[in-house]
Amino acid sequence: MAEKYDVVVAGGGPAGLAAARAAASEGGKVLLLELQAQIGGQTQSASWVPNDLITPKLRRAVVLKLREVKLHSPHKELITRGDFGAIVDRRQFDKLLAAEAAASGAELWLSAPVKELLMSNGMVHGILTEVGGWSDRIEGEVIVDATGAGGEWSSLLLRKVMGRDWQHERLASSNEYLMVNVKDEKSAEFIFTSYFAPGGYAWIYPLGKGFAMAGIQGVRIHPDTALDEFIGKQAPPRLAGAVPVAAFRSQLPLGGPLNQTCADGIIAVGGAAGQIYPLSGQGLRYALRCGELAGKVAVDAVTEGNVSKERLSEYERIWRAEFGFEFKVGKLLHSSLGVSQDRKMNAILHVLKGKPRLQRAFIDVFTGFNLKGSLGVLLKNDEIARVFGREVVKALTPK
């Protein structure tokens, strides 16, 4: 007989691990399946996160506190200083999340790809996985789709239930190298260039002791060649003589979240739900919070014996109330700055020069870390508002 769980989580990234931990803490019988042979670092090896994401249990994953950011556009350069959060090692970060999920009672399976959803009359009631060459059918009252957006087997709700794919023109490709033999500098760098990274940017995150991450993301780029070309032709001097020792390729949906993030018997979270801030591609905060929400709502729904789309949409109502505005801002600004990107970024860096408060506001809005406070500051500057465009400013100004 097929095994039966209250909640089956597909995908062991941050969103899935947060969902598994929350569901198990609420008393649910929980299984998480991860297709890779280890938890951690599937999409990238280091992430920039705000301070409030670093709970005491996650502190071990912090590689450095970020105090300096360098911004480049084709003709301008700017250095800004402050407390910008932390760079975390994703291989550690995700494993620490896994420890929390396991401590709460969730069962974790590795090398276990979810290949199919089991469905009857439109209701999802289980998954099909392959473990050690054997197919296994596993029944679950609620399936949490935490498979991310970047892989062959990802995005189960979108592809298997809704029967479509991510909008190609809004899907950014990314490639990131872990590099060694790097000249140590403390700043993170962001390079805006429509030639190498249209609709995106290139970045360098310092990791200390001669290590750094160098990455690129953009729409309609070939991730393999774009990063090599960028490093070969335009990379900052600190990478001269550096070599890559690991590569991470992925895709990010930058069109905002799915219109529908649950259906009968299934909830999508994190990358699989498109919960990515479109302007910069940040997503860990949403993955953790939305994963937690999904786990709680799933167990409540199972307890009540009602896992219909209507019941599960409590999850959708809450996350939209918390983050809907952020995604709207990120999407509008990403669209606006994607047109005449070089000219607009030159203009923005020109205006920011010598204005630390405005620089801080720009970083906050770029990352989405402190959006509500900083958006007003940025929009009050006439020149910045002109660059964003009248329609965008109107749409973002509270009535």
Ligand X SMILES: Cc1cc2nc3c(=O)[nH]c(=O)nc-3n(C[C@H](O)[C@H](O)[C@H](O)COP(=O)(O)OP(=O)(O)OC[C@H]3O[C@@H](n4cnc5c(N)ncnc54)[C@H](O)[C@@H]3O)c2cc1C
Write the CA distances from 370 to 50, 52, 276, 361, integer angstroms: 9, 11, 15, 8
Alpha-carbon distance 226 to 139, whole Å?
43
SS3 label, residue 368: coil
By CB under 6 A, residue 223 contacts ligand X: no
Taking the complex as a whole, the smallest distance from the CB of residue 36 to ligand X amounts, in Å, to 5
Helices H / strands E in the chain, number of each: 11, 18
- Encoded one letter per residue, x for contact with ligand X by CB under 6 A and - for no contact, window 256-285 reads --------------xxx---x----xxxx-
**Cβ proximity of 16 and 146 under 8 Å:** yes
The nearer residue to ligand X, 35 or 384, going by C-beta atoms, is: 35
Identity (one letter) of the amino acid at 18?
A: A
SS3 label, residue 1: coil
Identity (one letter) of the amino acid at 80?
A: T
Q: Which of 37-45, 301-309, 336-344, 358-366 is the region at the interface with ligand X (rule: CB under 6 A)? A: 37-45
By CB under 6 A, residue 215 contacts ligand X: yes
By CB under 6 A, residue 34 contacts ligand X: yes
By CB under 6 A, residue 33 contacts ligand X: yes
By CB under 6 A, residue 211 contacts ligand X: no
What's phi and psi for 135, nearest 5 deg?
-85, 140
Q: Which of 27-35, 177-185, 329-337, 380-388 is the region at the interface with ligand X (rule: CB under 6 A)? A: 27-35
Contact positions with ligand X (CB under 6 A) in 4-23: 10-16
By CB under 6 A, residue 338 contacts ligand X: no
> Which of 337, 173, 163 is CA-nearest to residue 258?
163
Taking the complex as a whole, the smallest distance from the CB of residue 374 to ligand X amounts, in Å, to 17
Taking the complex as a whole, the smallest distance from the CB of residue 359 to ligand X amounts, in Å, to 19
Q: How many residues bind ligand X (CB under 6 A)?
A: 41
By CB under 6 A, residue 193 contacts ligand X: no
By CB under 6 A, residue 194 contacts ligand X: no
Alpha-carbon distance 398 to 128, whole Å?
47
Question: Which pair of tokens denotes residue 251?
Answer: 């895709």
Q: Report H helices in 51-117.
A: 90-103
The nearer residue to ligand X, 194 or 250, going by C-beta atoms, is: 250
Question: Which pair of tokens denotes residue 329?
Answer: 């801002």
- Considering only 146, 178, 188, 258, the residue that binds ligand X (CB under 6 A) is 146
The nearer residue to ligand X, 323 or 393, going by C-beta atoms, is: 323
**Cβ proximity of 39 and 75 under 8 Å:** no
Q: Report H helices in the chain.
A: 14-25, 90-103, 156, 223-233, 284-304, 309-338, 341-352, 356-367, 371-379, 382-388, 390-396
Taking the complex as a whole, the smallest distance from the CB of residue 210 to ligand X amounts, in Å, to 21
The nearer residue to ligand X, 185 or 343, going by C-beta atoms, is: 185
**Cβ proximity of 271 and 286 under 8 Å:** no
Taking the complex as a whole, the smallest distance from the CB of residue 203 to ligand X amounts, in Å, to 8
By CB under 6 A, residue 42 contacts ligand X: yes
Taking the complex as a whole, the smallest distance from the CB of residue 333 to ligand X amounts, in Å, to 17
By CB under 6 A, residue 174 contacts ligand X: yes
Q: DSSP for 142-157?
A: EEEE---SSSTT--HI
- Considering only 20, 21, 43, 352, the residue that binds ligand X (CB under 6 A) is 43
Contact residues for ligand X, defined by CB under 6 A: 10-16, 33-36, 42-44, 47-49, 113-114, 146-148, 150-151, 153-154, 174, 176, 215, 217, 250, 252, 270-272, 276, 281-284, 287
